[in-house]
Structure 1
């Protein structure tokens, strides 16, 4: 039953907007038109990808229609600010389902496709996810773009259009194997290239001083290399509003892509050499920086996208009547971690060299433009760049950095005379060893606002990592706790729970998440609790089917789904989880008739390609599954699964099915976390430490509704300061000793006693992340989990209360905080107050 174009036109209703209508007939016609006229396909022979593309193009039309309306509204507010969110990562996730939900046409599109014998669910499953990020940083950026549009705040996300994103993960013989992420290979219908808005990006060369016609000292940059940045725009629509913002990602291209002379003399490699070299910049997300070439490429990437962004912003500002000295009145730019920090000297360069501002005026504009979000407490994650490398690639920027640093150090000496140690700590330049540029310090001095991403994280930043900056500039610091978008991670990911909640309390909660509080009155209703359990069980059945398909492992939906999915890292302590599993396993081996709660343990996450310990943890999880899953003494009561290739798309299947959310990082290590929020919003109970946003989640849902264990951040510091000796804990705890010995014996490695030796030795002799110190508390807490699971009514009540009290953790609240405390930006149509 494939309609012809003529047939669909014949069914058009009088007065209906055929081009961008939202009813099933209009949507069906739009899909058919794209198949026929744009893709050259007949519905009878079109592939699933053809239908996916046609459907996506039809939806995109409706997004850009709203995008033009948003731009028109912005042009009529020339005194308002626009947010520029600068981020090296944007993990947007699949777009089709999210855009259908935001447009309010999910059911209408399902009907339209059903009339053509196409299942919408098949197209949603077919969609390839752009892996343009490594983890939480990129997912947070995506949530914030969703909230900015939903709150009708004009915004553009700026980043890199990596040709190959984060690797696709396969598990072979228990080991992670990295495969190329070819997310563009079937086409990406959501973006539109804008080659006419390309920007020239310069590298290398030298600078020269000169005197201008007014007798002023000036500097010009003579580059050795010029690369073109080509923008690609993806529309970002808000939920049930007309505001549609942009994600503008930049692709690197050679200025001259083909050397015809070299080709004619047979030097074919040199004919495309410039093209290959230039395109390398946007080729791969986070190239390995172990080599000098890798370091140079990473720095080139960081400068590439901020140079494109700042030039694009300045060009728009001037085009619509602004002047260089009022740039900060048009734009509020947020540095998402230190990757975009070179934007500070770049804006200074443009204002000084291209537009002739005096230093003090340019610096005032720059500081009022930028805000800086710090995302880490780990010293190794605070970026530095060798001065010789930075100067070779960006010679003019190094001169500007040196002048910023001279003025900064002079200011420190005025406030703290004689305190040269403080000057050394706050200097932008690390002088010890190989001289290097401290990007976090540059971000701090170049921004008017600095924020952490959870209450504990901000306090630790202020008391430890950035304490000197707090003393010098206390007014710059604030906390803005992270949030997640309930549209993608509940409405799209968990339609069953969303339907139940909307039927119970109304359908305004996706944009007013505090409305979930109305669920509290239903937590004591046995009938509602039963429906809540039915919804969760349906989600677990769906995940069980996916697990069987992806891994071949059969799991029981009636068991407790105990899930830890996140980046694999020692501080996140997936190996502590494994120690608990092996503890339960040993108990069953000692007494096969032991009455324990059946559990399915699901792990997921990627290890950095060069991070051996993290890869070994993945191998340990797989080996534990091999040992446990088919042991006749276990009788199916324990199952261990490593879910491969964790991503936003896979997360949408996993979060709704979780009963228990593992948030077990060492206290004082996790900046915030957002997985903890996604799990809790989908009805999972949390077992966790007082780390990151766990603290605030526990405060909101109630201590009685949170499974707390482990040392606090202060206790971790105290234990380490007094001389932590993990071997003593091993020797004194019989169950722990037996589990560690089991791993060391080779029983999980086919008798190979060397495979996990580095992991075992690290725990026994170093244990920097306090795994052994928290083991007994964790195991005891898990026993409390098991006791509650045996009471389904009590578990359901606690689950409902967790969801009801999670309103604080909407990314909408986070964005409102940024608007009020950092950006001073209001929604389209509203006056902006307090802007600099």
Structure 2
């Protein structure tokens, strides 16, 4: 550590001098932005020594690296994280108290880096944090998007997307490495062993430090930006526009061929750049390319980075003189694949003509892979022609990315026990038959440092008083808290912590959404991407049912415990039905919140522009965690884990990691309902479900839809939602509605018995230790990566 963070006096001196030097202002006259910028710069500079020492240790000890390739890294605010993990947060807080600076105000000034959207990106960020904290040489690789996914605004109840030009302000935490730039080629034609008439784009790396938890280890996330290449002489308007767009924004609209091309350009750029960077480093250290797998493992996070497989084969064949078989063997010993979905539409496929136009040589490599793979499965003799066609890498004029990953990797993992079971026995059962040792499970996790220690000081202080502080380093030790389950005083303390966090969220919602919430009500929260399988629609339909019952059933009204339903969700801009559901939620909320007859008992909030910062308030405040996806559709979930760790009970289906939550905390301490994954798949197989019959036999559903017809002056305004349910209901919203209503009735009744509820909250907290991403990363390392730890001579 540099001496400026040695104690509060040295820090105060360095901080005031830096403000004067850079902005020519005193502490008293500095703006929030100026105060934040100096704090971030001093913190980042302070990490440089540890970063260099870590890099040197990895290099000198010839340590194998894992490179985690992910389209998203949703890092959240880094100032809090880096100060805590550096072990100097308390010094800064004390110094700021002396200087009359509110550290919380400074932390709030940092905006979320626009490098992700949902759970995939948040998981990747947790994994980097755990890797560094465990002393593992784990590094991230992605794109430096100039604009985030989008900023969400609700106008006339509808989602409106605004650009998120987050990089318009300097990103203090990044370091540009211009001298490590690489040229990436698109289009052209492969002739005589060379790509000719191609278009070259320069990939420029920016490194963001990833700080281990007070262990001196600092790794990095490498982000690739695009700039014009010096090799291109004719830098016309079309070329400059192409270069600009590649690293402009996350998930561009792919409803057109141009949009699809752009997505594929992005995927190839960060995959190829990451692979070439690793090979360049490998060779610069005098290592033999034939031993690449001894020094690197490339983890493919979902199918977006699939192209690292054919790209590595291409490099080995075209530049290193390998035969195809030699190149494939080495590649398949180096690449590992994490699957995150079982939804057919989310398993990426690319049109052959589009693919070979953009990446002609890569397409040739995949054709060659496909021919070899066809020979393999035909020779195996156990598969029908239909099975073979489904397994091929190219079929029906489509390039199948998941199939490439399974064939070209040495490990394929799911992200929850149920998810992996479904992959092995349903979605990818033929691949599992072919490769019975390749599939494995790695249940997702969250970094408890951010999702408990950084965001819930009140609960941390309570835990520290009860069970000591060893759990900070090993979350499994939080199990000790369970011995207080019957202690009335501890129950009351847990309740008081929850009430404080509910008040903090209520204050934020009042400030940002202008809605008053009763902190004594049940805070019932569903925050995640808006997708039909996550069934936010079932949630709002149930709320409408409750509202209508409160209006007409005096006994129900008298017995109903006040309930505040909170939603947070973004929909992909081109996802029509999801955007309609957002509109329905907001339109319903306005009616319910303004009804003085019931609004002391029922409130509905849709928080605008849900992001990591908002999540830090939300996760700690929930009493009830909505995890209600159609069973078999949610791979894992990580929000469910964050809620559990902070003392919420789960109302949910037996889907994803909910299964493990129920097993660990006891199914009696959650509110589990609905069809099982087996029952869901039987319904799909037999086509036995008739949604119209379900609707016609349930007066509650009819009343809900009658109400929906009254929301807008045009009674058919939401007809598309109704018709989608009546004539399709693929995600079984109406089928599970009755079970969901009953689960909510149990939860509402249960909350009235506060002693019993608090016991369940304690049990959930105490059994959340399994869900730390430290455990997940240790399992990845034990079974897949096999990295040695950075010990700094210990």
Alignment TM-score, normalising by the size of structure 1 = 0.92
Select the residue among 448, 457, 460 that pairs with 2:419.
457
Contact 1:409 1:423 in 2 (8 A): yes
Tell me the residue number matched to 1:60.
Answer: 44
Write the distance in 1 (CA, Å) between the matches of 2:237 and 2:323. 42
Select the residue among 487, 498, 502 that pairs with 1:525.
487
Q: Map 1:320-399 onto structure 2 (within 5 A).
A: 320-399=285-364
Write the distance in 2 (CA, Å) between the matches of 1:465 and 1:397. 27
1:95-121 C-alpha deviation (Å, 9 max, x unpaired): 011111111222211122233322111
1:379-407 C-alpha deviation (Å, 9 max, x unpaired): 11010111111111111111111111111
Does residue 72 of structure 1 match 2:56? yes
Contact 1:602 1:641 in 2 (8 A): yes
1:41-69 C-alpha deviation (Å, 9 max, x unpaired): 44343211111010001111222221111
Write the distance in 2 (CA, Å) between the matches of 1:517 and 1:384. 44
Write the distance in 1 (CA, Å) between the matches of 2:434 and 2:344. 21
Q: Map 1:752-767 onto structure 2 (within 5 A).
A: 752-767=714-729
Q: Map 1:605-624 onto structure 2 (within 5 A).
A: 605-624=569-588
Tell me the residue number matched to 1:703.
Answer: 667
- C-alpha displacement at 1:355, in angstroms? 1.4
Tell me the residue number matched to 1:102.
Answer: 85
Does residue 646 of structure 1 match 2:571? no
Select the residue among 171, 174, 192 that pairs with 2:175.
192
Tell me the residue number matched to 1:571.
Answer: 533
Contact 1:202 1:223 in 2 (8 A): no
Write the distance in 2 (CA, Å) between the matches of 1:52 and 1:144. 26
Write the distance in 2 (CA, Å) between the matches of 1:205 and 1:186. 37
Contact 1:34 1:57 in 2 (8 A): no
- C-alpha displacement at 1:632, in angstroms? 2.4
1:414-450 C-alpha deviation (Å, 9 max, x unpaired): 111783333212111112xxx1100000011110000
Does residue 208 of structure 1 match 2:170? no
Contact 1:562 1:662 in 2 (8 A): yes
Does residue 31 of structure 1 match 2:15? yes
Contact 2:200 2:232 in 1 (8 A): no
Contact 1:228 1:254 in 2 (8 A): yes
Contact 1:77 1:829 in 2 (8 A): no
- C-alpha displacement at 1:823, in angstroms? 1.0
Write the distance in 2 (CA, Å) between the matches of 1:418 and 1:77. 47
Tell me the residue number matched to 2:786.
Answer: 824
- C-alpha displacement at 1:483, in angstroms? 0.5
Tell me the residue number matched to 1:252.
Answer: 226
1:6-61 C-alpha deviation (Å, 9 max, x unpaired): xxxxxxxxxxx764534212322332343233455443432111110100011112
Contact 1:258 1:271 in 2 (8 A): no
Does residue 180 of structure 1 match 2:163? yes
Write the distance in 1 (CA, Å) between the matches of 2:743 and 2:33. 48
Does residue 716 of structure 1 match 2:680? yes
> Relative to structure 1, is the Cα distance of residues 830 and 670 closer, same or farther in structure 2, using a 3 angstrom cutoff?
farther
Does residue 139 of structure 1 match 2:113? no
SS at match of 2:223: strand
Write the distance in 1 (CA, Å) between the matches of 2:231 and 2:314. 28
Tell me the residue number matched to 1:162.
Answer: 145
Contact 1:18 1:26 in 2 (8 A): no
1:766-791 C-alpha deviation (Å, 9 max, x unpaired): 11111111111111111110111001
Does residue 292 of structure 1 match 2:257? yes
Unaligned stretches of 5+ in structure 1? Answer: 1-16, 210-218, 263-269, 832-836
- C-alpha displacement at 1:824, in angstroms? 1.4
Write the distance in 1 (CA, Å) between the matches of 2:650 and 2:400. 37
Q: Map 1:331-730 onto structure 2 (within 5 A).
A: 331-416=296-381, 419-431=384-396, 435-592=397-554, 593-720=557-684, 721-730=686-695
Tell me the residue number matched to 1:807.
Answer: 769
Contact 2:69 2:298 in 1 (8 A): yes
Tell me the residue number matched to 1:213.
Answer: none
SS at match of 1:753: coil
1:663-710 C-alpha deviation (Å, 9 max, x unpaired): 000001101110100110110000000111100111011111111100
Write the distance in 2 (CA, Å) between the matches of 1:189 and 1:418. 55
SS at match of 1:641: strand
Tell me the residue number matched to 1:216.
Answer: none
1:616-660 C-alpha deviation (Å, 9 max, x unpaired): 111111111111112122141100000111111110010000000
Tell me the residue number matched to 1:310.
Answer: 275
Q: How many residues align?
A: 790
Contact 2:5 2:91 in 1 (8 A): no
- C-alpha displacement at 1:75, in angstroms? 1.9
Does residue 21 of structure 1 match 2:5? yes
Computed over aligned residues only, the root mean square deviation of the Cα atoms, in angstroms, reads 1.7
Tell me the residue number matched to 2:213.
Answer: 239
Write the distance in 2 (CA, Å) between the matches of 1:395 and 1:271. 23
Does residue 787 of structure 1 match 2:752? no
Unaligned stretches of 5+ in structure 2? Answer: none
Write the distance in 2 (CA, Å) between the matches of 1:569 and 1:549. 27
Select the residue among 225, 228, 232 that pairs with 2:199.
225
SS at match of 1:334: strand
Write the distance in 2 (CA, Å) between the matches of 1:208 and 1:633. 76
Contact 1:727 1:765 in 2 (8 A): yes
Write the distance in 2 (CA, Å) between the matches of 1:258 and 1:42. 48
